[in-house]
Chains A and B, each alone.
Chain A
Amino acid sequence: MYLEYVKSAISSIKSNKGRSFLTMLGIIIGIAAVLTVLIIGDGMKATVNGEMDSIGATTISVTLDDTKTDKGFTKEQLDLIENNISDIDGVSPGLQFGGQLMMGDKAFDAMVNGETPASGMSGQVEMIHGRFLIKSDVDEAKKVVVISQTAATKLFGYENVVGNFLEVSAYGATDEYVVVGVRKDNTLDTAYASFFEEPSFIVTMPYTSMLDLYMIDMESYVHGFTIYTDSEYKDQVLSKTRSVVENVMGLRGENAVKISSGYGFDETTNTILNIITSVVAIIAAISLLVGGIGVMNIMTVSVTERTREIGIRKSLGARTSSILTQFLAEASILTFTGGLIGLLLGLAISYLICRIIDFAFIVNPVLVVIVVLISTAIGLFFGIYPAKRAAALDPIEALRTE
């Protein structure tokens, strides 16, 4: 029997196509707006957190606040910290300076990176020949480098240059290094090379060797480092990092350790993103509310217009509940259909926007189900008042209406 009410509701909606569509429009826009905001919000968070780029690997960066302390890290302290935080691949101070690579009488601009083996776990490093840095390279400040395949080809004329010597020069000082590994080019290489007209390369060496080359005192210069870990352990690692660093550095209670995860965005940023998403979603939800009121308005008009029909139905034996169901079905089918259209529209719009601003396009299936349920619920909620009015009509009065 309820199927009959649904059928009758559909035929009634169809018999008034123009008005039904205009009524739905409010719901369509509301649902599309809310959905777009939520999907873009999710995409923004995912992109910011870099969860899409390298599945599994993630980094946490730790710095000492130079307004609170003037301490820096020594190698012993870094090693101690590394050993005291479980579930990590390792830590690296990640030093970076400009320098030059000398090949015979030619010099090439270079970005010299001082790293540890851990930085090879970032997901960005893929070795083709030889090996990446190992622990003894760092401990003994060995004069070894890892270069990209393009660098190898450009500098030596061929790719597998493992065992060859390369001169690296910085601020007038020059030293000779053994190439221990050739790695695949990655996005950083491309980005770096694009800054310069002349060929320029990234070379990676143990940070200890780099400190020697540039004659830098580590403790006065290194105020931060990066932790390499798996995103699976990120939360555990985050929870331990502060106390370990504070203990090792003797900075307990000084609030001098700053920790951030992801691509330079910390938890506060995430919270702010969530708040922004929520506020915009609430504004979008208000349009949904307005759409719902539109449905109530049209249904009320519809009840007034169809007073006679209601009288006829009642004289033929329709119960109060039958009339109520009929009008509720009409309202909720209207909003359900509007919700479906709004869903498709919202998906299309958010997909386009995510594409244009290069956000990850993530659709949570739960969100889709909730959106459709909510649109139906709006029909039921805003349909109650007009449906009750319809059901309460006196058949004699209703039949008398023209």
Chain B
Amino acid sequence: MKKLVEIRDVSKIYNPGVNEVKALNHVNLIIGEGEFVAIIGQSGSGKSTLMNMLGCLDTPTSGKYFLHGQDVSHMTDDEQSDVRNREIGFIFQGFNLIPSLTALENVELPLIYRGVGKKERAKLSMDALHHVGLGNRMTHRPNEMSGGQQQRVAIARAIAQAPPILLADEPTGNLDSGSSKEIISIIKKLYKEGRTVIIITHDPGIAAQAKRIITISDGQIVSDIMNKDYKD
């Protein structure tokens, strides 16, 4: 299995000095291509910091982060933007769709920033929306859709440009149980199609859906196990 994510001795310290907070404390982590990982932790455990780190939204105070073999721990903002655009598909708790844009336009956004031409962009975006079962909702705006539908648009946006990693931050946190199941099954489907999926959650029920479960507490990884109960 090829290494996709390699975190080496990464620490993140906020407010260095007397009141410093060690959000991540010498964390080591390797995630291979095609894995389905859940990172679980209570609030304040450092899981959000880890998620920001993995998503190239933040840089470590010390240690190194290799993504696809490339050291991404010390990059300029624009370099980070490019890496995010190329490597990572984000799925957020709050969907994070742009309200003034239609479903299709939202899905097209990362492709615009990558510089994909208009026709190609429309094709990829429509394919992605069909993939999540929203082929009939392309021209709807976020406020015209249910939470589950909005999250599916967000998933389509995350997969449209086929990034190596899907990074889902509490993807079902704002959804009812029916929609949650739907979203989890879509995420599982994407994993089975060969994508690497990382879910960040505080919900053991969600974490139990993944193949590998990593528990984080007080900024450290306290357990990293393969899920024996994983069901396809």
Q: Is the CB of B96 within 8 A of A15?
A: no
Q: Is the CB of B101 within 8 A of A399?
A: no
Q: Does A383 contact B (CB under 8 A)?
A: no
- In angstroms, how far is the closest chain B Cβ from the Cβ of A313? 7
Q: Does A68 contact B (CB under 8 A)?
A: no
Q: Could you give, for residues 51-84 of chain B, a 1 whenever the CB lies within 8 Å of some chain A CB and a 0 otherwise?
A: 0100101100000000000000000011001101
* Residue of B with least CB distance to A391: B77
Per CB-CB distance, the 4 closest pairs between chain A and chain B, nearest first, are A317-B85, A317-B113, A15-B100, A316-B110
Of residues 148 through 174 on chain B, the ones whose CB sits less than 8 Å from some CB of chain A are: 157
Task: Report 10 cross-chain contacts, Cβ distance below 8 Å, ordered by A residue.
Answer: A11-B100, A11-B101, A12-B100, A316-B84, A317-B81, A317-B86, A318-B81, A319-B77, A319-B78, A320-B77
- In angstroms, how far is the closest chain B Cβ from the Cβ of A233? 61
Q: Does B29 contact A (CB under 8 A)?
A: no
Beyond A1-B112, A396-B57, A399-B92, is A319–B98 a contact (Cβ under 8 Å)?
A: no
Of residues 177 through 227 on chain B, the ones whose CB sits less than 8 Å from some CB of chain A are: none
Q: Could you give, for residues 372-402 of chain A, a 1 whenever the CB lies within 8 Å of some chain B CB and a 0 otherwise?
A: 0000000000000000000000011001000
Q: Is the CB of B78 within 8 A of A320?
A: yes
Q: Is the CB of B110 within 8 A of A319?
A: no
* Residue of B with least CB distance to A4: B112
* Residue of B with least CB distance to A1: B115
Q: Could you give, for residues 105-124 of chain B, a 1 whenever the CB lies within 8 Å of some chain A CB and a 0 otherwise?
A: 00001101111000000000
Beyond A11-B100, A308-B96, A396-B58, is A316–B113 a contact (Cβ under 8 Å)?
A: yes
Beyond A399-B92, A399-B96, is A317–B77 a contact (Cβ under 8 Å)?
A: no
Given A312-B98, A316-B90, A317-B86, 4 more pairs with CB closer than 8 A: A311-B96, A313-B113, A316-B109, A317-B82
The interface centre, meaning the residue of B84, B86, B114 with most chain A CB atoms within 10 A of its CB, is B84
Q: Is the CB of A314 within 8 A of B112?
A: no
A11: chain B residues at CB < 8 Å are 100-101
A311: chain B residues at CB < 8 Å are 96
**Could you say which of A15, A309, A319, A395 contacts B113, with CB atoms under 8 Å apart?**
A319
Cα distance, A322 to B84, chains bound together (Å):
15
* Residue of A with least CB distance to B117: A1
B112: chain A residues at CB < 8 Å are 1, 4
* Residue of B with least CB distance to A317: B85
- In angstroms, how far is the closest chain B Cβ from the Cβ of A306? 9
A1: chain B residues at CB < 8 Å are 112, 115
Q: Is the CB of A315 within 8 A of B86?
A: no
Q: Is the CB of B98 within 8 A of A395?
A: no
A321: chain B residues at CB < 8 Å are 78
Q: Is the CB of B113 within 8 A of A315?
A: no
Counting contact residues on chain A (CB < 8 A from B), the size range is 20 to 34
**Could you say which of A15, A317, A395 contacts B114, with CB atoms under 8 Å apart?**
A317
Q: Is the CB of A314 within 8 A of B81?
A: yes
Q: Is the CB of B77 within 8 A of A315?
A: no
Cα distance, A296 to B85, chains bound together (Å):
30
B109: chain A residues at CB < 8 Å are 312-313, 316
Cα distance, A12 to B99, chains bound together (Å):
10
Beyond A313-B109, A396-B57, A396-B58, is A319–B81 a contact (Cβ under 8 Å)?
A: yes
Cα distance, A318 to B100, chains bound together (Å):
17
A320: chain B residues at CB < 8 Å are 77-78, 81
Q: Is the CB of B82 within 8 A of A395?
A: no
Cα distance, A1 to B110, chains bound together (Å):
12
B97: chain A residues at CB < 8 Å are 312
**Could you say which of B90, B100, B101, B115 contacts A315, with CB atoms under 8 Å apart?**
B90
B113: chain A residues at CB < 8 Å are 313, 316-319, 322
B110: chain A residues at CB < 8 Å are 316-317
The interface centre, meaning the residue of B81, B82, B100 with most chain A CB atoms within 10 A of its CB, is B81
- In angstroms, how far is the closest chain A Cβ from the Cβ of B75? 12
A314: chain B residues at CB < 8 Å are 81
A315: chain B residues at CB < 8 Å are 55, 57, 84, 90, 96
* Residue of B with least CB distance to A312: B96
Q: Is the CB of A316 within 8 A of B52?
A: no
B81: chain A residues at CB < 8 Å are 314, 317-320
* Residue of A with least CB distance to B102: A11
Cα distance, A59 to B173, chains bound together (Å):
88
Cα distance, A395 to B77, chains bound together (Å):
10
A395: chain B residues at CB < 8 Å are 57
Cα distance, A318 to B80, chains bound together (Å):
10
Q: Is the CB of B98 within 8 A of A396?
A: no
A317: chain B residues at CB < 8 Å are 81-82, 84-86, 110, 113-114
- In angstroms, how far is the closest chain B Cβ from the Cβ of A324? 11
Of residues 2 through 31 on chain A, the ones whose CB sits less than 8 Å from some CB of chain B are: 4, 11-12, 15
B84: chain A residues at CB < 8 Å are 315-317
